[in-house]
């Protein structure tokens, strides 16, 4: 059952050039940028958060499936283990953002501007949570904890391969214990982190649904990337035991969580729309005024397309439709995060630049008629290139981890169930 | 109206034996009337060469009818029949319609599918369906053949089929 994935030089070369392309795109963005390098930093934040989230959700999937006694997924769990370990380089990427906050490299967060916080009632009220210390130590401690769980779960899983299931399945029991502890920690801490990283870009605004909504976005991106990688590995001749039945169940996740995402997206929108409270509606007002195409594209990619493509049984079992749906959903959720990140950070930067230029600015003048700006109003080629670079980095790290252990967890007690997995 | 049926059925103790028997029956071109199992047996549908159920297509159509009913009805009420302004919102407030549209979609498709299923299966309140053997809901796996009008030769052939494929009991019953 032992199956080795070979991360050969051709793959390294392709992914390496992808990373260089991404880096090149980031450099071009940086030098073509405004004085605060807003486009560069928002791209950096957007992709970092997106891929760290995918890693986190992969770990979450592992832990949730272990806790739920899921057997079908055992054959593909090595993919999630490899994805989850991207948290380590992810933390390094986040550290750059943190140092940027301290060193004033970027001007992403309005709350990081000490002078603005002094005179701004709302931000002053939030400054107990939205401050550099929370941002720094929250990120390091929380992501550090996630890394701890990712590495421990991986360690026992690999040791299980080498030493057998152990007495009374001791390795599996250890993984289960870690999973059970991790789940509530992940639930609360991921919410706190996404508030810090993303929601606080619109420092005046908040939504209690935001963490769920962005979390489901991460989850879908992780599932889509899992499906794509598995189909790729199968095309390369790996994972012969993974069948249409496993694909079918992954497709159900892609379908079901897409509907869940839509539910959250809509609930957040409708409650704010109905209550019509100024400081809440500003978030959607801004996006509907200046980002209309993206706003609706988001729904098209993340709800309409997966809903209708994946509704039938057979489309979840066919490679073609699954690849199509996965790519659409992956790009869709990347766009979703684009729309969470860009508008708020852009306003913050515009305000800061106006302030530098000595203009009197008025917070209420937000929103009306921002000119079209490539990279903000719509993702341009540079954004896509940056995303591609990050994706290649992510896959490079994942392939490195995949090559370190057998693709089949041969001593997992649930392996037999996974081999005989059968739906419909 | 009660239709009498003469049924020859065999009981098996295990689903693997049953699956083998079903395949053997197919190979011998014996026409199986029905198979009863206490739980869903993987691979049985394929072995019996059953068509995929069309219930979900019906479900989609019922759901779509629900969507249209809810949405068009609310549109008519709030723009033509009785327009009211709620909280300064326009008469035709699509976001406010979505939850009810969703609910009616689910309701229509759930009720529609239930009624369709009951109709296709010939079930209704007050109707009793005769059971071949009570143990088919417990621990026995049953293959039933239609024995109406079957001659002695055919019955013997079926009986020997049952004994060859490992049935633990064989009964002839009129229900």
Q: Give the pLDDT confidence score for residue B1 in this predicted structure.
A: 43
Selected for mutation to probe chain B from A72, A252, A266 (highest B CB count within 10 Å) is A266
Q: Inter-chain contact B98–A266, Cβ cutoff 8 Å? A: yes
Give the nearest partner residue to B42 out of A266, A273, A422, using CB atoms. A422
What are the residues of chain B with a beta carbon less than 8 Å away from any beta carbon of chain A? 42-43, 45, 52, 56, 60, 87-89, 95-96, 98-99
Q: In what order do the strands lie in the sheet with B169-174?
A: B32-36, B141-146, B6-12, B169-174
Q: Residue A409 to residues A62, A249, A300: CA-CA distances in angstroms?
A: 13, 19, 38
**Confidence check: pLDDT of A359 > 70:** no
- The whole-angstrom distance between B45's CA and the closest CA on chain A is 9
Residue-wise pLDDT for A190-239, tens only, equals 999 999 999 999 999 999 999 999 999 999 999 999 999 999 999 999 99
As a whole number of Å, the CA-based R_g of chain A is 22
Burial zone of A78 (CB within 10 Å; 0-12 exposed, 13-18 middle, 19+ buried): buried
Cβ–Cβ under 8 Å, residues A48 and A391: no
Classify residue A46 as left (phi > 0), alpha (psi -120 to 50) or beta: alpha
3-state secondary structure of A70: coil
Considering chain A, what percentage of its residues have pLDDT values greater than 70? 98
B136 Cβ neighbours under 8 A, 6+ residues apart = B11, B36, B37, B38, B142
Asked whether the beta carbons of residue B43 and residue A270 sit closer than 8 angstroms, the reply is no
Q: Give the contacts of A276 (CB within 8 A, at least 6 positions apart).
A: B87, B88
The pLDDT confidence band at residue A9, using thresholds 50, 70 and 90, is very high
Q: Best residue in A248, A262, A424 to probe B by mutation, most B CBs within 10 Å?
A: A424
Contact (Cβ atoms closer than 8 angstroms) between residue A145 and residue A137: no
What's the rounded Cα separation, in Å, for the pair B51 and B19?
Answer: 17
Q: What is the pLDDT of residue A362?
A: 53
> What is the structure's pLDDT at A22?
97
Distance of CA B116 to the CA centre of its chain: 9
A368 CA to chain B: closest CA distance, Å?
21
Question: In this complex, do A269 and B42 lie within 8 Å of one another by their Cβ atoms?
Answer: no
pLDDT in tens, A276-292: 998 899 999 999 999 99
Per-residue pLDDT band for A357 (boundaries 50, 70, 90) equals: confident
> Which residues have a Cβ under 8 Å from the Cβ of A172 and sit 6 or more positions away?
A160, A165, A166, A412, A413, A414
Asked if A276 has any chain B CB less than 8 Å from its own CB, the reply is yes
Asked whether residue A130 carries a pLDDT value surpassing 90, the answer given is yes
> CB neighbours of A195 closer than 8 A, spacing ≥ 6?
A129, A206, A210, A211
A369: left (phi over 0), alpha (psi -120 to 50) or beta: left
Position A360 pLDDT exceeds 70? no
Q: Cβ contact (<8 Å) for B98 and A276? A: no
Residues on chain B touching A313 (C-beta within 8 angstroms): 52, 56
For B57, nearest residue in chain A (alpha carbons): A312
Tokens found for residue A105: 């490299």
Contact by Cβ (8 Å): A19, A177: no
Compute the distance between CA of residue B98 and CA of residue B90 in angstroms, rounded to an integer: 15
The answer to whether A398 and A51 are in contact (CB under 8 A) is no
| A313 shares contact with chain B (CB less than 8 Å) | yes
Q: Virtual CA dihedral for A21, A27, A29, A32, nearest 10 degrees?
A: -130
Contact A327, A228 (CB under 8 A): yes
CA distances from A63 to A50, A56, A60, A182, A184 (A): 20, 11, 5, 7, 10
pLDDT grade for A385, boundaries at 50, 70 and 90: very high
**Helices in B77-129 by DSSP H: which ranges?**
94-121
Q: What 3-state DSSP class applies to B26?
A: helix
Residues of B within 8 A of A270 (CB-CB) are: 95-96, 98-99
Three-class DSSP category at A326: helix
Instruction: Closest CB to B98: pick one of A270, A276, A311.
Output: A270
Other CB atoms within 10 A of residue A355 CB: 14
pLDDT beyond 60 at A363: no
CA distance A22 to chain B (A): 40
Q: Are A53 and A334 in contact (CB under 8 A)?
A: no
* A vs B: CB pairs below 8 A: 20
Cα(B5)–Cα(A408) distance, integer angstroms: 53
Per-residue model confidence (pLDDT) at position B86 = 86
Q: Quick one: tokens of A92?
A: 């390094």
Q: Exposed, middle or buried, B125 (CB in 10 Å: 0-12/13-18/19+)?
A: exposed
The reply to whether A368 touches chain B by the CB within 8 Å rule is no
Q: What is the DSSP-derived secondary structure letter of residue B75?
A: H
Calculate the alpha carbon distances from B74 to A23, A188, B64, B77 in Å. Answer: 53, 40, 15, 5
Structure tokens at A392: 């290649």
pTM: 0.91
Q: Compute the mean pLDDT over every residue in chain A, rounded to the nearest whole number.
A: 93
Q: What's the gap between Cα A270 and its chain centre?
A: 24
User: pLDDT truncated to tens, each residue of chain B (175 aa)?
Assistant: 456 788 999 999 998 999 999 999 999 888 899 999 999 888 898 889 888 889 999 999 999 999 999 999 999 999 999 999 988 899 999 999 999 999 999 999 999 999 999 998 888 888 887 788 899 999 999 999 998 888 888 899 999 999 999 999 999 988 8
Domain boundaries, chain B: 6-51+128-174, 55-120
Q: Report pLDDT for A364.
A: 45
Look at residue A366 in the predicted model and tell me its pLDDT.
54
Distance CA A317, CA B49 (A): 19
CA distance B107 to B113: 10
How confident is the model at residue B3, as a pLDDT? 67
10 Å Cβ neighbour count for B86?
11
Report chain A residues whose CB lies below 8 A from the CB of B87.
274, 276
Question: Is the pLDDT at A302 greater than 90, yes or no?
Answer: yes
């Amino acid at each position: 059952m032992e199956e080795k994935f070979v991360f050969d030089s051709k793959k390294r070369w392709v992914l390496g050039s992808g990373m260089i392309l991404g880096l090149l795109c980031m450099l071009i963005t940086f030098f073509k940028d405004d004085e605060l390098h807003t486009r560069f930093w928002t791209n950096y934040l957007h992709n970092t958060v997106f891929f760290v989230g995918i890693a986190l959700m992969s770990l979450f999937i592992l832990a949730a499936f272990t806790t739920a006694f899921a057997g079908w997924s055992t054959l593909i769990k090595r993919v999630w283990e490899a994805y989850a370990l991207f948290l380590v380089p992810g933390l390094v990427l986040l550290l750059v953002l943190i140092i940027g906050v301290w060193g004033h490299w970027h001007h992403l967060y309005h709350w990081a501007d000490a002078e603005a916080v002094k005179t701004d009632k709302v931000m002053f009220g939030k400054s107990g949570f939205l401050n550099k210390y929370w941002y720094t130590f929250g990120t390091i401690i929380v992501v550090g904890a996630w890394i701890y769980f990712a590495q421990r779960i991986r360690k026992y899983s690999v040791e299980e391969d080498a030493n057998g299931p152990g007495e009374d399945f001791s390795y599996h029991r250890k993984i289960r214990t870690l999973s059970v502890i991790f789940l509530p920690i992940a639930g609360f801490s991921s919410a706190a982190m996404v508030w810090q990283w993303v929601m606080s870009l619109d420092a005046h605004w908040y939504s209690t649904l935001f963490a769920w909504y962005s979390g489901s976005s991460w989850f879908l991106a992780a599932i889509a990337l899992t499906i794509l990688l598995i189909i790729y590995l199968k095309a390369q001749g790996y994972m012969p035991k993974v069948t249409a039945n496993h694909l079918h169940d992954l497709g159900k996740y892609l379908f079901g969580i897409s509907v869940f995402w839509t539910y959250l997206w809509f609930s957040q929108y409708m409650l704010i729309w109905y209550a019509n409270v100024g400081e809440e509606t500003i978030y959607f007002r801004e996006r509907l005024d200046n980002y209309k195409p993206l706003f609706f594209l988001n729904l098209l990619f993340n709800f309409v397309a997966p809903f209708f493509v994946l509704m039938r049984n057979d489309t979840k079992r066919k490679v073609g439709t699954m690849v199509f749906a996965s790519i659409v959903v992956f790009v869709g959720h990347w766009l979703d995060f684009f729309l969470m990140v860009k508008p708020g950070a852009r306003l913050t930067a515009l305000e800061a630049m106006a302030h530098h230029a000595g203009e009197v600015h008025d917070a209420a003048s937000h929103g009306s008629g921002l000119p079209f700006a490539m990279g903000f109003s719509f993702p341009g080629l540079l954004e896509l290139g940056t995303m591609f670079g990050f994706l290649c980095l992510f896959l490079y790290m994942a392939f490195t981890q995949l090559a370190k252990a057998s693709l089949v967890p041969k001593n997992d007690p649930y392996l037999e169930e996974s081999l005989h997995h059968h739906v419909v | 109206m009660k239709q009498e049926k003469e049924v020859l059925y065999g009981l098996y103790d295990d689903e693997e034996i049953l699956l083998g028997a079903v395949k053997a029956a197919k190979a011998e071109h014996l026409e199986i009337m029905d198979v009863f199992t206490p739980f869903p047996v993987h691979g049985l549908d394929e072995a019996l060469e059953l068509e995929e159920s069309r219930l979900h297509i019906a479900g989609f159509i019922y759901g779509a009818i629900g969507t249209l009913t809810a949405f068009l009805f609310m549109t008519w009420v709030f723009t033509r029949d009785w327009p009211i302004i709620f909280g300064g919102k326009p008469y035709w407030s699509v976001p406010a319609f979505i939850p009810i549209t969703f609910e009616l979609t689910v309701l229509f498709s759930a009720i529609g599918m239930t009624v369709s299923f009951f109709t296709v299966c010939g079930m209704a309140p007050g109707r009793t369906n005769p059971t071949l053997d009570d143990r088919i809901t417990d621990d026995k796996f049953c293959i039933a053949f239609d024995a109406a009008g079957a001659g002695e030769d055919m019955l013997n052939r079926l009986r020997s089929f049952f004994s060859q494929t490992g049935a633990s009991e064989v009964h002839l019953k009129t229900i």
